[in-house]
Amino acid sequence: MKEKSPKRAYYINKSALTLVGAKIREIRLSKNLSIETLANTSSMDYSQLARMETGKVNFTISYLFRIAEALGLTPKELLP
């Protein structure tokens, strides 16, 4: 019988996610946008965006690009 291979461990840098999320929130608030407005503009669910802003979800680079575009920024400007 063949042994099961161990599950792949995924690297998650929680402090980086928290910093990026805080930066997104900071910029969103500075532009007087609600989380719902930004979520709609970037074609995302607002609860997903809320989890991103609080660093509770490991999101893809595609989401970073969508948010940056909706805010009129480059993705680099969303990095701390």
**Is residue 45 situated within a structural domain?**
yes
The dihedral sign for the CA sequence 67, 70, 74, 77: negative
Task: Give me the mean pLDDT over the 10-16 stretch.
Answer: 85
**Is residue 4 situated within a structural domain?**
no
* Residue 60 domain boundaries: 14-78
**Is residue 39 situated within a structural domain?**
yes
Closest CA to 49 of 33, 61, 31, 36: 36
pLDDT band at 31, cuts 50/70/90? very high
Task: Give me the mean pLDDT over the 61-80 stretch.
Answer: 96
> Model's pTM, two decimal places?
0.84
**Is residue 56 situated within a structural domain?**
yes
pLDDT value, residue 7: 65
Q: Which residue has the tokens 């893809």?
A: 60
**Is residue 47 situated within a structural domain?**
yes
pLDDT(9) > 70: no
What CATH number is associated with residue 41?
A: 1.10.260.40
**Is residue 74 situated within a structural domain?**
yes
Number of domains, the chain: 1
Q: Say which residue, 10 or 77, is predicted with more confidence.
A: 77
**Is residue 26 situated within a structural domain?**
yes
